[in-house]
Structure 1
Amino acid sequence: NKMKFKQILYIFLLSIYIKVKIVFTQPKDAQLRKLLQYHNELRRNLTACKLEGQPPAKNLLDLKWDNELASKAKDLANECYFHHNDVDLPEKWQYIGQNIAGYQTIEQAFDAWKDEYKQYNYYSKSCSGVCGHYTQLVWQNTTHVGCGITNCTGSYSFPYGLSVVCNYGPGGNYEGRYPYEAKSQDECYATTTKRPTTTKRPTTTKRPSTTTTKRPGTTPTQKPGVPKQIPKPIWPSIISTWNEYATSNMIQGIVTQTCICVK
């Protein structure tokens, strides 16, 4: 009887542990849960061959929520000022990636990041505009995400509505690397009888002059193939100039900023 009781107790405690673990790997806030959902829906769609113009991913896993990344993202969002910051969690990851945006809704913010895929050419690893937010979203080696949202309505320094910040561990966007391992289109339609006659691919071949990722705090273990140093723009000055222009002309605008890495 003692043995049976111990087994029942073990199973009971294990079920509690599993439930608690599930609870704590999901954000409490409904908007943050939506953001996590949007991230993983994109990654699943890319694996399921549902992102037009991009090759399907071979093995793109869901991102897990991390409260430390989220806490640091919330701190930055609370500033209601459009800029990147350095996030250090050396006990977990060597460096952290970061996406920021200012929009009226989280859907608009996430779509702005995601829709950069239309400008990205996977095969040449090049971009006709800004693509670094998208490539971070689908970076295969990134396993965790944590986001923060602050309503900055009424803020002179941030006239865009919601300040949305997401941190990623480990960060991606290494210059010269593919964001994920692709599979062939044939694998997408192996179980169907109907196949598309053509596959659209981006035709952009212009190579970006800069990488569009937040600068790592430390040198990555696997160093990018071609070391290169790129001058860092003075973001506060750029943002300030834009804010003054927008205010003086009584217009609303959205700024999507990326950091230039020093490799």
Structure 2
Amino acid sequence: MIAQNPTFPLDGKQVYVLRNDQWSEARLMGWQWSSQDGEKYTVLYLEDNAREEGVSIERIRSLEEMQNAGIETNVYDLNSQAGIEQMLATHNKWREQVGVPPLQWSPRLANYAQEWADKLLRENSFEHRQNSNYGENLAAASGQQLSPERVVNMWGSEVEYYDYATNSCSPGKVCGHYTQVVWEDTQEVGCGMARNENREVWVCNYNPPGNYVGEKPY
């Protein structure tokens, strides 16, 4: 008998794979079945983009299985207080590294950001809101689900392209998301996210805004 469908669908959602005695986030990139070996998957590990082929089904767990077992407590949206706290804490982790005060969460800014995230997803677009009084960071992904922590760390990782001495980014690189995250005068942040089966969009707004031309972030 030939298996018609994989036990774990190739839908882009994260799974967890037992790797070196630890559970690691991964995406399923392909699968095959044989009467001798059963189901085998090709996985892409999110932490280092390494691929592994021939992964047995016994080494794979869904997010729901991990959460039900109490092994994984991460969140992948902002619908709970845990998601909000993770988003805020990750911002403040980056700010602490450069010695600037922590941000406070603003429900007003969160609603403002959610409106824009919904619009961008609905219209399948990706652009900054025009004529806004607030700073803004955007992120988007397809084929995977991001956590609040991963979103902010994507922005924070731009630090490697930022030269504080010259207050500039490396040629051809982007670092403005990072400088907004650590902008000293910013006091509040609020974020929203929207997701469908194909795509997700994250928006954070900042008050007061940062990234003034000619000014250093701190």
1:44 pairs with 2:82: no
Shift of 1:28: 4.9
Specify the SS of the correspondent of 1:173.
coil
Structure 2 residue aligned with 1:236: none
Give me the identity figure in percent: 38
Q: How many residues align?
A: 130
Structure 2 residue aligned with 1:130: 174
Structure 1 residue aligned with 2:163: 121
In structure 1, distance between residues paired with 2:212 and 2:205 = 16
Q: TM-score, normalised by structure 2?
A: 0.56
1:105 aligned to 146, 171, 177, which one? 146
Q: 1:169 to 1:87 in 2, by over 3 A?
A: farther
1:164 pairs with 2:205: no
Structure 2 residue aligned with 1:143: 187
Shift of 1:105: 0.7
Specify the SS of the correspondent of 1:177.
coil
Shift of 1:111: 1.8
Computed over aligned residues only, the root mean square deviation of the Cα atoms, in angstroms, reads 1.7
Structure 1 residue aligned with 2:8: none
In structure 1, distance between residues paired with 2:191 and 2:130 = 15
Q: Deviations over 1:15-59 (max 9, x none)?
A: xxxxxxxxxxxx953222211110011111222xxxxxxxxxxxx
Q: Deviations over 1:58-100 (max 9, x none)?
A: xx11101111110010111112131211465xxxxxx210000
User: 1:23-62 alignment to 2 at 5 Å?
Assistant: 28-47=80-99, 60-62=100-102
Unmatched segments (≥5 aa) in structure 2: 1-78
Q: Structure 2 counterpart of 1:29, which letter?
A: Q
Specify the SS of the correspondent of 1:35.
helix
Q: Structure 2 counterpart of 1:115, which letter?
A: S
Structure 2 residue aligned with 1:239: none
Q: Is the 8 A contact 2:90 2:153 kept in 1?
A: no
In structure 1, distance between residues paired with 2:112 and 2:212 = 23
Q: 1:34 to 1:40 in 2, by over 3 A?
A: same
Q: Deviations over 1:86-131 (max 9, x none)?
A: 465xxxxxx2100000133133322221111000000111111101
Q: Is the 8 A contact 1:78 1:150 kept in 2?
A: yes
Q: Structure 1 counterpart of 2:146, which letter?
A: T
In structure 2, distance between residues paired with 1:175 and 1:113 = 19
2:196 aligned to 120, 142, 152, which one? 152
Q: 1:165 to 1:87 in 2, by over 3 A?
A: farther
Q: Is the 8 A contact 1:96 1:168 kept in 2?
A: yes
In structure 2, distance between residues paired with 1:105 and 1:114 = 15
Specify the SS of the correspondent of 1:108.
helix
Q: Structure 2 counterpart of 1:136, which letter?
A: Q
Q: Structure 2 counterpart of 1:176, which letter?
A: G
Larger Rg over CA atoms: 1
Q: Is the 8 A contact 1:113 1:134 kept in 2?
A: yes
Q: Deviations over 1:218-246 (max 9, x none)?
A: xxxxxxxxxxxxxxxxxxxxxxxxxxxxx
Would you tell me which structure has more helix in proportion to its own residues?
1
In structure 1, distance between residues paired with 2:97 and 2:183 = 14
